[in-house]
Chains A and B, each alone.
With several copies, the nearest count.
Chain A
Amino acid sequence: MEVTITFTQGVIVIPPLELPTREIGAVVEFYGIVRELENGRQLSGLHYTAYESMAENQLARMFAELQKAEPCIAVHFIHRLGFVPVGEASLYIRVLAVHRGEALRFLAAAIDRMKADVPIWKSDRSEGHSL
């Protein structure tokens, strides 16, 4: 499985859609967008931080584990860090697979597990920036 994991401080740039093999039947893309209301509070955006080296290792291992149950051909993961304004993407994931079932289940499980275990944090203020 081809895996890319990217953390970026700027706007997420979607890579052009390339199909490494002619057996790919399904491409699923997910954008996580910053919403105006979070827990009832109105925001202009969110600040994201990560423990990047650990996050990258955790993601790579998680993708390899998910791959056993839901074989996919490629996964491209991009998470934006720093300030992300409302209406812009903080997260982008693309999954390529032979069939849609694997692609959709891989995507859903990857997001669930990222939200449980991968050291990335959002905040409505820029914690630690004042230090």
Chain B
Amino acid sequence: MPVKLLAFAHTRDVLGFQERVFDCAPGDTPRALLARVAPTFDCAACRIAIDGEYRDWDAPIGAGRELALIPPVSGG
């Protein structure tokens, strides 16, 4: 199934895109998806959100349609 991966802040430079659609296997975790599409990406430096909610890197993406890489935030 297709999932959209959004990159924010410096992860846009690391990944080279702001958003891109990837195909995702049932049971895939965010960590597995990133390992496949961006093998050098350091998941420890980022949080992951699925459909706008913070999730665990190792929980299945399930029915999620939009993943977002959330590096340390700095609003205000």
Give A contacts to B, CB under 8 Å: 32, 48-51, 53-55, 57-58, 79, 90-91, 111, 114-123, 127-128, 131
Contact A127 B76, CB 8 Å, known A53-B52, A54-B68: no
Q: Are B73 and A116 in contact (CB under 8 A)?
A: yes
- Residues in A with CB closer than 8 Å to B70 are 51, 119
Q: Considering the chains assembled together, what is the distance between the CA atoms of A116 and B70 in angstroms?
A: 12
Q: How would you classify the secondary structure of chain B's contact residues: helix, strand, loop or mixed?
A: loop
Interface locus among B7-15, B22-30, B37-45: B7-15
- Residues in A with CB closer than 8 Å to B52 are 51, 53-54, 57-58
Q: Considering the chains assembled together, what is the distance between the CA atoms of A123 and B75 in angstroms?
A: 10
For the complex formed, measure the closest distance between the CB of A15 and the CB atoms of chain B, giving whole angstroms.
19
Q: Considering the chains assembled together, what is the distance between the CA atoms of A111 and B17 in angstroms?
A: 30
30 residue pairs of the A-B complex, CB under 8 angstroms, read A32-B76, A48-B75, A50-B75, A51-B49, A51-B52, A51-B70, A54-B53, A54-B68, A58-B52, A90-B76, A91-B75, A115-B73, A115-B74, A115-B75, A115-B76, A116-B73, A117-B54, A118-B75, A119-B8, A119-B68, A120-B75, A120-B76, A121-B9, A121-B73, A121-B74, A122-B74, A123-B9, A123-B10, A127-B13, A131-B16
